[in-house]
A and B are shown apart, each in its own frame.
Chain A
């Protein structure tokens, strides 16, 4: 059944949505959306390096994004520049370097649009294996660091004082971010990965009153976005990434109705 490119894309997208759901909630809670953007911009550099040295794209993107994340943490410690300036600096410079490298790789034909916005035709069986095994590992690690990560998201000092080691959890979470970008780049494209993380989580926030519910709704929202997005991508021949993100936007708008309703009930 995996012979059909569309089934492959669907299975890949579902795998990605299971991981972006919970991770996206943390991105929203910890205000990391620009951090996600920076990592995904740097992914272009990872892709070009993969082509240059004939490496696996996901592995190469994971390594480059992790390195960029580490550089960011070091810069935050050692310079007096504000966080958003450093994020912008790294995002745009790594994007620019990636594009310059592409210019040199004249011997390879690049599907830039596919890279930026995702391409369901490009999902191979190997990608499925990487998404499901990699995704499973990401969720496992997230479960292991859940307590310190969540506690320090609520209040850093409480977590630190009561012996949960939040700094280690934060460093591990950074690596998980690089990993999710690496496995979802083919599906969603590097310009829209952060949307896949944030929009279902934001939708879930509108209709949840506790963290567990928010994560479950975020996963459901991601799954629906992928399924609706991919079918419409097939139907209208639109690129897969933007179709998925548009579907998630529609779900978000629908969730706003629920907020309106509950405000109405309160009055």
Chain B
């Protein structure tokens, strides 16, 4: 039963095993409306697996997953479009749901690729394709967005703009976002809750709490921790009421 109406998806001690090997286990997290939850962790730490558990792509899982919405937009980590299928950007935009032309144009222009609407998907560059993927996911006006490294291959200025867009969308649509990213610096400034994975949850909490965590430092190194403390420093007037913040 969903007592809290803001909850969109909830993982309780969830795990997934493939060929006898645990890809991830013991993950608990909650994504709420209007909140951004970010998964971080090294390669192979189970970030994408966790996202797929939350989405219901993996069905034979350990633990529990409760999903309270069907309006979902998903940007997978890897999408390969077969050349045997001729597909334009405009065809791809209505892949899972029929969306009005206005909404398609709006989403494409938000991610800066309106001019590619009639191009064949196979002719796009990696960064352009990534922008189309994001546009498709947001054009549905979803309640839950699951973004698996949504800005990979996007140029530096574009990256910042897209993260700002993601933040704006979560506020405007009041949708919950489950985000996977490697870019600690940008991500941390926009995230409400961070889950640090390494086959299991090694720590979780607000960005500041995670940055202070010992396991996080072991996993990402002292420098990453400092990256976060720069962020912390910039914003410590906001968080000062939380009390003692130790400098690294």
Interface residues of A (CB under 8 A from B): 28-29, 31, 147, 150-151, 153-155, 157-164, 205, 208-211, 213-214
B57 touches which one: A147, A154, A161, A205 (CB < 8 A)?
A161
A161-B56, A210-B86, A213-B86 known; 19 other A-B pairs, CB under 8 Å? A31-B84, A147-B96, A150-B95, A153-B85, A154-B81, A154-B87, A157-B55, A157-B76, A158-B96, A160-B55, A161-B52, A162-B72, A162-B74, A162-B97, A163-B72, A208-B86, A209-B88, A210-B87, A211-B87
Contact count band on B:
20 to 34
Interchain CA distance A180-B26 in the complex, whole Å: 48
Q: Which of B56, B79, B85, B140 contacts A160, CB < 8 Å?
A: B56
Least Cβ–Cβ distance between B66 and chain A, in angstroms: 15
Residues of B within 8 A of A160 (CB): 55-57
Do B82 and A29 touch across chains, with their CB atoms under 8 A apart? Answer: yes
C-alpha gap A18/B96 in the complex (Å): 26
Interface string of B28-63 (1 = CB under 8 A from A): 000000000000000000000000100111000000
Instruction: Tell which of A28, A150, A162, A209 touches B84, judged by Cβ atoms closer than 8 Å.
Output: A28
User: Which chain B positions have C-beta within 8 A of A29?
Assistant: 82, 84-85
Task: For B70, list chain A residues within 8 Å (CB).
Answer: 163
Interface residues of B (CB under 8 A from A): 52, 55-57, 70, 72-74, 76, 79, 81-82, 84-88, 91-92, 95-97, 120, 140, 146
Q: Which residues of A contact B79 (CB under 8 A)?
A: 155, 158
Complex contacts, A157 vs chain B, CB 8 Å: 52, 55, 57, 74, 76
Is A210 a contact of B73 with CB atoms below 8 Å?
no
Question: A147: which B residues are within 8 A, CB to CB?
Answer: 96
- 4 nearest interchain CB pairs? A161-B55, A161-B74, A162-B96, A163-B70
**Residue among A147, A157, A158, A164 with the highest chain B CB neighbour number at 10 A:** A158
